Amino acid sequence: MSNTQTINRRFFKKPTPLSLSAICEILGISPPKAPELTPLFDDVSPLDSAEPSHVSCFHNAKYLTDLQHTKAGLCIVSAEHAHHVPPTTIALVIQNPYRAYGKIAQQFYSVASGGGFISEKASISKSAQIGLNCTIGDFVTIGDDVVIGDGCQIKSFTSIESGCILGNNCVLESNVTISHSILGNDVFIKPGAKIGQPGFGFHMDAAGHFDIPQLGQVVIRNNVHIGANTTIDRGSLVDTVIGNGVRIDNLVQIAHNVVVGDNSVLVAQAGIAGSSKLGQFVIVAGQVGIAGHLTIGDGARIAAQSGIMKNIAKGETIAGAPGIPIRDWHRQTIALNQLIKGKK
């Protein structure tokens, strides 16, 4: 029985075919030597199910056998693995195959701007400023003094509360709620995300809990993606800041005053407590918990389900709860296994 999955493009428009030269132009490379009559390529596909009119990509060593037997017409591959490409497939050799594949897939399935349609069912304040060519769906609510840049897409049941600012070409999927927030350009927010709500800030003593006003805002820089049902609290006095190019997965919690540095990645179910600061290119894996008022250095990596209680230096890789350098964590795991086996 074949394990090949059937590809269904029900939710995407049929792409316009591309020639080999057009693909190379998109990637900024010279066309390789190829048969005189190269076909037009009309889709992207996995190696194991690709057809002669498809573009495929090899970027994971686990799929070497699929590469060796692929029927794809064109395969994007690194120089290291190009010799595995079958003679019936054109090898497009490039340094970063997966990024190159993404550019081609993006070209095939570009996101439409929406054409500037504003639903009559939307509720938009008279003081709001809406840019050119924006699409605003049914039952969207836009409050007083909101500013929305050109080319934005605001989908159904999303709420943008008073005073918020969106840059150009932002996409807010359905059921997003934004308050006390300033967004840059090209921000993409998936369904159900909540941004700008008051943080978990209160004074606790014998007299009971006393809520502290949350007077900051959320600042989201350019080209940020925020996952479904993720929450980002506004600052208490200073701002919560999400840097340029950050990628945040679904179900992530970011507390008040947190700063996330440029191009960092936060994976699903991670939680960052108040006032912690992450540097640039930090990777926080799934279900990681980071305590408050910590500093995570540039390029640090935190393994899944780790609990971080101390600052992390630049470039360190941490694992475990409480988090320790990953080599020490591996040593502890090995020692524990040996201890258990010894007792048997």
Active site residues: 256
One DSSP character per residue, 39-73 reads PPB-EE--TTT--TTEEEE---GGGHHHHHH---S
Q: Return d(Cα 287, Cα 4) in angstroms, integer.
A: 31
Cα R_g (the chain), whole angstroms: 24
CA 170 to chain centre: 14
Note whether 74 and 89 are within 8 A (CB): yes
Tell me which residue has tokens 């008040």.
256
Q: Beta partners for 135? A: 153
Q: At 34, is the secondary structure helix, strand, or coil?
A: coil
* Residues forming beta bridges with residue 259, ordered by sequence position: 241, 277
Residue 67 phi, psi (nearest 5): -60, -45
Using CA atoms, how far apart are residues 84 and 64, in angstroms rounded to an integer?
Answer: 8
- CB-CB contact of 256 with 199 (8 Å): yes
